[in-house]
Structure 1
Amino acid sequence: MRRSVVMITACGLLGAWCFTWLLLSYPLYVKKSASHTFPQVEQFSVVGKNAEKIILFYDFPSYYELENVTPPPCSRKCKFSANSSQARSADAVIVFSHDHILGRTSIDLTKSMGQTWVFFAVESPPYSNVNSLGHAKFRQKFNWTMTYRQDSDIFFGYFKMKKKSTPASSAERSRQTQERKQLFAKKSKMVAWFVSHCETDSKREIYVNELKKYIQVDVYGACGKLQCGTWPECDAMVSKDYKFYLSFENTLCKDYISEKLLKILQQQATVPVVRGGANYKALCPPDSVVNAADFPSPKALAEHLKKLASDEAAYLKMLQWSWDYEVVQPILPLCELCERLYKSWHTQELYEDVAKWWTDGTCHPPRDL
């Protein structure tokens, strides 16, 4: 009897020790980040009780047309909703972060037990206005982030490129080279820029004004004097007439690349000139863009563009990325969201302050003016 008591006590102590070890070491099994904490209250929470997981897009703008979303054939069962009245019962709540678009000053949202919250943003921090989510009541509430940043839990951005599963054949490369040589010979203009946001954090308008002193830059849209008709007509004109297009961002922020670069690369006919806060070497194929950051001044950039414009072989080389890479269209990662919900351990991650994670130290002022 005494021996049994000792054994039970020993087992109990061993079990308690194992549980304590597991509790203390559990964060080692989830993503490490200075922006995360792991409060004990959610250490062993369980993903929602619904047989079919409900994912709510909370307070999203109407232009996302989420009411008409047809769930893709995912490996798990999920129901996607835009009905904010389901905020308490949903397994996951994706919060649209941009106050300025919705005209709100606060968010009336309470987190249910076992629920996963996802921070969603598509604009760069200076233009996303996440003031509501900076409130103390939203600290240690968000589990995942879904943005264009590469360190997001779920990536969703305007721009992504990947290697083709089947590269272009020799015959296709030869055909494209001949077509591009003919197009190169017909291009009569240097640089085009389409812009409607005239005063920006990146001071791109000042940079372009300086660039204009050394090379022809035609400015279309609200910030220029030129017009070109419909978007398809404008795209066709740029492909046919211009050797370069300015894909200059309105902010210089970590990983931020807008649809400007996506569109011009899709055309595969004009070389983009980029200026932003992203690591273009890591995100773009080799020799696919001209990065203003590689030059000490707008004058030096202009000299490089003029040299490139007069060198057919060098110019055409900058279009050859399309033989091995393709541009990926931005699509809401519905299946990834769904499948992650069935992995309950993901819900253990919490951001201490998701608004601070989004804004602190992620953008910088221009350094080239």
Structure 2
Amino acid sequence: LTDVVPEATRNKTFTIIWPCKGGRIGCFINKPVPVETCRFPCQQIRDYEQADVAVFNVFRFRQNEAVPRFNRPRTQRWVMMTGESPVRWSQFDNLDYPAFKGQFNWTMTYRLDSDIPFIYGKLQRQASPVKDYDRIYRGKTVTAAWFVSHCFTQSRRDLFVRRMQRIVDVHVFGSCGNYTCGDPAGSKRDLDKSQCFPLLSKTYFFYLALENSFCKDYVTEKFFKLFGDVDVVPVVRGGADYKKNFPGNTFIDASDFKSPEKLGAFLLEMAKDKKRYISMLKDKNRYGVLPEQKWFCDLCEKMHKDDRQKYYPDLRQWFLRDQCYAPKDV
């Protein structure tokens, strides 16, 4: 079955309200999104007062005065958009701005219960790649790698890794570690992914995909980038239900271990078990990342399909309440 778009609803329009640094409006508006690639037709316009939908990147608003004042049409939907987690709670005080209170109709966040989920990736089964897994295994010499630029986070992942390093070698790349890939003269923060991922595939058994915060459903691109053509087994740590949402035997979940040291000991053991390691790597390589579904295409579809009247009386409570928690393993 295919969705039929009624002729009368073809000309849906939206505007994006994305403040620049300092609260100015307009950074993103000057970069039109390619809606012509979307299945459901819609158009990005600049006129706030004419758009069917206004999308607010709420994380960027730093003061109530930055919210643009305009005559909002009665039928215009407001969308709260952010890919950030609530642990940066002080940045989301702006959800209490009088100009925002009780005004939003839809949510677009990483949460799966959002009106429009703003997720970082999706996995799909693919043809098993033909590879010399014996050769791949023989070439690996270091247990684990971690690419990181933000050192101190709510998840305390820096402490988690330091404790792992008591048991196992973990090479830390980027501004928080001593390793780099790409231009040796460049900034450690600027990791050259075109060189980092081949190095990862060649040298390391495992990659630590550690989230910066423990929040429900929060899984960022660091996990999804390991699928496809990267020959390394992911080790995940975060607040999402990985076992429910992703294929089994394609990753190692840190929550299965009582401590970082226990996890480190397990990685050492598994790296020595050629048959078991190759089995997991093969299973992981059976999945690739779906071509990215652009958020604005999801928005266009929502505009065409959903005409219900709803609003969030307290969006800050919806976004923050019971969503994040402190890690218990460090």
Q: TM-score range by the shorter chain?
A: 0.7 to 0.9
Consecutive unaligned residues in structure 2, runs of 5 or more: 1-7, 21-25, 183-191
Using the aligned pairs only, state the percent identity.
Answer: 33
The equivalent position to 2:176 in structure 1, one of 218, 223, 228, is: 223
State the match for 1:92 in structure 2. Answer: 53
Whichever residue aligns with residue 11 of structure 2, its letter is E
Q: Is the 8 A contact 2:53 2:77 kept in 1?
A: yes
The equivalent position to 2:12 in structure 1, one of 53, 62, 76, is: 53
SS of 2:104's equivalent? coil
Partner Cα separation in structure 2 for residue 298 and residue 113 of structure 1:
54
Question: How do 1:60-99 and structure 2 match up within 5 A?
Answer: 67-74=31-38, 76-81=40-45, 83=46, 86-99=47-60
Q: Deviation of residue 225 (structure 1)? A: 1.3
Partner Cα separation in structure 2 for residue 76 and residue 363 of structure 1:
34
State the match for 2:108 in structure 1. Answer: 146
Partner Cα separation in structure 1 for residue 272 and residue 195 of structure 2:
26
Partner Cα separation in structure 2 for residue 227 and residue 161 of structure 1:
29
Question: How do 1:309-348 and structure 2 match up within 5 A?
Answer: 309-322=271-284, 324-343=286-305, 345-346=307-308, 348=309
Partner Cα separation in structure 1 for residue 303 and residue 177 of structure 2:
48
State the match for 2:204 in structure 1. Answer: 242
Q: In the TM superposition, what whole-angstrom CA distance separates every residue of 1:273-304 from its partner, at most 9, and x where no partner exists?
A: 11111111122211111111110011110111
Q: Which deviates more, 214-223 or 125-134?
A: 125-134
Residues 87/275 of structure 1: CA separation in 2 closer, same or farther (3 Å cut): same
Aligned length: 306
SS of 1:342's equivalent? helix
Consecutive unaligned residues in structure 1, runs of 5 or more: 1-48
Residues 354/127 of structure 1: CA separation in 2 closer, same or farther (3 Å cut): same
Q: In the TM superposition, what whole-angstrom CA distance separates every residue of 1:289-340 from its partner, at most 9, and x where no partner exists?
A: 1111110011110111111101112112222335653212544233332232
SS of 1:184's equivalent? helix
Q: In the TM superposition, what whole-angstrom CA distance separates every residue of 1:132-175 from its partner, at most 9, and x where no partner exists?
A: 2222442332111112111111122213223x3xx52xxx56x3
The equivalent position to 2:68 in structure 1, one of 103, 108, 122, is: 108
1:207 pairs with 2:160: yes
Whichever residue aligns with residue 299 of structure 2, its letter is L
Q: Is the 8 A contact 1:142 1:351 kept in 2?
A: yes
Q: In the TM superposition, what whole-angstrom CA distance separates every residue of 1:91-131 from its partner, at most 9, and x where no partner exists?
A: 001110113xx654542345420111111111111237222
Higher helix content, 1 or 2: 1
Whichever residue aligns with residue 58 of structure 1, its letter is I
Q: Is the 8 A contact 2:9 2:304 kept in 1?
A: no
1:197 pairs with 2:150: yes
Residues 192/142 of structure 1: CA separation in 2 closer, same or farther (3 Å cut): same
1:365 pairs with 2:326: yes
Q: Is the 8 A contact 2:14 2:51 kept in 1?
A: yes
Partner Cα separation in structure 1 for residue 177 and residue 14 of structure 2:
43
Q: Is the 8 A contact 1:156 1:331 kept in 2?
A: no
Q: Is the 8 A contact 2:64 2:97 kept in 1?
A: no
Computed over aligned residues only, the root mean square deviation of the Cα atoms, in angstroms, reads 2.4
Partner Cα separation in structure 1 for residue 37 and residue 179 of structure 2:
46
Residues 92/273 of structure 1: CA separation in 2 closer, same or farther (3 Å cut): same
1:180 pairs with 2:133: yes
The equivalent position to 1:255 in structure 2, one of 210, 217, 221, is: 217
Partner Cα separation in structure 2 for residue 137 and residue 333 of structure 1:
25
SS of 1:119's equivalent? strand
Higher relative contact order (CA 8 A, sep 6+): 1
State the match for 1:44 in structure 2. Answer: none
Q: Deviation of residue 228 (structure 1)? A: 1.5
Taking structure 1 as the reference length, what is the TM-score of the superposition?
0.76
Taking structure 2 as the reference length, what is the TM-score of the superposition?
0.85
SS of 2:137's equivalent? helix
Partner Cα separation in structure 1 for residue 281 and residue 117 of structure 2:
26
Partner Cα separation in structure 2 for residue 324 and residue 209 of structure 1:
32
Question: How do 1:108-147 and structure 2 match up within 5 A?
Answer: 108-109=68-69, 111-127=72-88, 129-147=91-109
Residues 183/60 of structure 1: CA separation in 2 closer, same or farther (3 Å cut): farther
Structure of greater Rg: 1
